[in-house]
């Protein structure tokens, strides 16, 4: 009888050993593929103009520029977003307080969530081209502590950022 369940037990042990324990898994992209996705080359554009365009694109999206070093071609910026607790969470809190005759009011209720989006952009000249490489990291904050951080690898997000840089380059060239 035990021999019949041995394959099931072996399968259970095998599957449970594959669990990650909450550690984020790496992207399926190679570092070279990630670099290609995060980079754009602009022919006939000097690095100073590209730096201005990157700064304009970041500021248009609500980022606060932390550092901008033209010599290194480095820009770092941050955008913070705070989302209030959902209506459902607030309603559950009211029901919990009412159901415990006010005792649950002694404990903290649902809190707003704070998200930080960090941008790091590098602008460099390469021959007659200027290369722009941008990486973004999304962090979930609780108080002053970062509880989760992950690199943004969404193709659409990065393409949208570079579309804004293209637009800012056009505006800089036309002096608008």
The model's pLDDT over 128-148, given as tens digits with 9 standing for 90+, comes to 899 999 999 999 988 778 888
Number of alpha carbons in the 13 Å side-chain half-sphere of residue 39: 15
Report CA torsion sign: 79, 30, 44, 160: negative
- Pick 11 or 2 by higher pLDDT: 2
Quick one: average pLDDT of 113-120?
93
Do the domain assignments include residue 75?
yes
Distance CA 42, CA 109 (A): 51
Counted domains in the chain: 1
Do the domain assignments include residue 11?
no
Range(s) of the domain holding residue 60: 39-85+111-173
The average confidence (pLDDT) of the chain is 82
Distance CA 146, CA 78 (A): 14
Is-above-0.75 flag for pTM? no
Assign 3-state DSSP to the chain and report helix, strand, coil percentages, each to 5. Answer: 40, 30, 25
Quick one: average pLDDT of 156-174?
92
Q: So what's the pLDDT on residue 27? A: 58
Do the domain assignments include residue 6?
no
Do the domain assignments include residue 29?
no
């Amino acid at each position: 009888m035990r021999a019949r369940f041995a394959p099931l037990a072996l399968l259970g042990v095998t599957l449970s050993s594959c669990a990650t324990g909450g550690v984020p898994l790496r992207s399926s992209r190679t570092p070279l593929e990630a670099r290609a996705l995060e980079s754009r080359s602009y022919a006939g554009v000097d690095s100073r103009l590209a730096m201005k365009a990157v700064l304009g694109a970041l500021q248009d999206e609500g980022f606060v520029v932390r550092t901008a070093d033209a010599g290194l071609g480095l820009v770092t910026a941050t955008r913070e977003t705070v989302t209030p607790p959902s209506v459902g969470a607030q309603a559950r809190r009211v029901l919990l307080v009412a159901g415990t005759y006010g005792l649950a009011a002694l404990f903290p209720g649902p809190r707003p969530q704070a998200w930080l989006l960090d941008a790091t952009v590098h602008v460099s000249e390469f021959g007659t081209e200027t290369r722009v490489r941008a990486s973004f990291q999304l962090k979930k904050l609780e108080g002053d502590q970062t509880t989760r951080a992950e690199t943004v690898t969404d193709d659409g997000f990065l393409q949208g950022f570079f579309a804004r840089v293209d637009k800012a380059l056009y505006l800089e060239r036309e002096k608008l």
